[in-house]
Amino acid sequence: MYFKDKTVLVTGGTGSMGGRLVRRILTGEEGLPKKVIVFSRDEAKQHDMRVSLSKSKIVTDEKIYSNFSQMLEFRIGDVRSYADVCSAVRDADVVINAAALKQVPTCEYFPAQAVRTNCLGVSNIIRAINENSFDIETVIAISTDKACKPINVMGMTKAIQERTVIAANILNPDTRFIGVRYGNVMASRGSVIPLFHDQIQRGGPVTITRPEMTRFLMSIDEAVDTVFAAANGALRGELYIPIAPSGTVLDLAHALIGDRDIRVDIVGIRPGEKLHEILVSEEEAFNTVRRGDYYVIRPMLPELRSPDETEEIALSSDFSSKDSVVPIYEVRALLDKHSMLL
């Protein structure tokens, strides 16, 4: 019940992950919060989210526009702006940083923009806490498998975010800075499943990069579960990683196509893409323990190491998508379980 009676700020709260996270927090499954603040720069997405939540009765249907008197509060702002961040962070007990530029090819073409959002954004959160002595209990940073041995700009900026958040614990002993790192979220905005759906509905062809390419497979609710697990169990500087299955992109395409007579075309790897993803590197493995359904990477900084490190090391090598591939019938079962089949 970690969020009970707390004010929770979610940056990027109108995105795929941020939006589902906000909805799950508002249900009270981890304790009913005092307030949830959605911080983002898109007023149209905020309006759509407000209307959607009102219709679902998760929040009170408003007769008048009373944004600041509701449990769910929307704030326009940008994590790139220190002033905007200060204004939002000062009222929070918990900050969850889900704001990101996450499209791999986009970040390759506009790396400076990725740095401003993915690196400077979290730096602004830490700076706001530092310079204003805000009483923040926990900051949770959302990261990605692409941050592990990164070869693309998106992963590189997320790797910097991870290290920035871990190091923030040193000069901020009263705030717990932790993170989560997870793989491909099926059917999230901009991911491959909505693209495949669209291509199938148009009669094909379905385009894949390389048939042997693998990706971790998890639902958006499983990603939220990872955030909740970290909020409840992570020590300062730790990263929580879900133990997720993976599948080939070819099997994913065929599972979605089913019995339809639709051609699959191989178009080649996009700028910045990996053939296989890694959630825990070989170098991190010796510092990784298992807690339930999660691997936990303990901080490498000696000042943050727990004096009682009795947990056994869980891995002897990396945790890669190429090593946990499930057969196509399991891929299809996963898609069916999460209502992603057409």
Sign of CA pseudo-dihedral 243, 247, 253, 257: negative
> Which residues, 6 or more positions from 144, have their beta carbon under 8 angstroms from its beta carbon?
102, 154, 155, 158, 181, 182, 183
DSSP 8-state secondary structure symbol assigned to residue 326:
P
Q: Identify the H or E element spanning 141.
A: strand 138-144
The verdict on residue 77 lying in a domain is yes
The verdict on residue 136 lying in a domain is yes
Query: What's this model's pTM, rounded to 2 decimal places?
Result: 0.93
Contact 18, 109 (CB under 8 A): no
**What six digits make up the tokens of 105?**
């090819």
CATH code, 41: 3.40.50.720
Q: How far apart are CA 262 and CA 208, in angstroms?
A: 13
pLDDT for 186 equals 83
Query: How many domains are contained in the chain?
Result: 1
The verdict on residue 138 lying in a domain is yes
The verdict on residue 272 lying in a domain is no
The verdict on residue 207 lying in a domain is no
pLDDT for 64 equals 46
Up-side HSE of residue 144: CA atoms within 13 Å toward CB?
25
pLDDT at 241 over 70: yes
pLDDT tens-digit profile of 250-262? Answer: 999 999 999 999 9
The verdict on residue 34 lying in a domain is yes
Strand pairing category for 7-11 and 35-40? parallel
The verdict on residue 251 lying in a domain is no
Lowest mean pLDDT among 42-46, 296-300, 336-340: 336-340
The verdict on residue 35 lying in a domain is yes
pLDDT tens-digit profile of 144-179? Answer: 999 999 999 999 999 999 999 999 999 999 999 999
Structural domain range at position 60: 7-183+218-244+278-315
The catalytic residues are: 146
Sign of CA pseudo-dihedral 216, 217, 220, 225: negative
Q: How far apart are CA 210 and CA 266, in angstroms?
A: 6
Best CA proximity match to 264, nearest among 185, 340, 207: 207
pLDDT at 136 over 60: yes
DSSP 251-318: HHHHHHHTTS---EEE--PPTT--SS-EEE-HHHHTTEEEETTEEEEPPSSGGGS-S---SPB--SS-
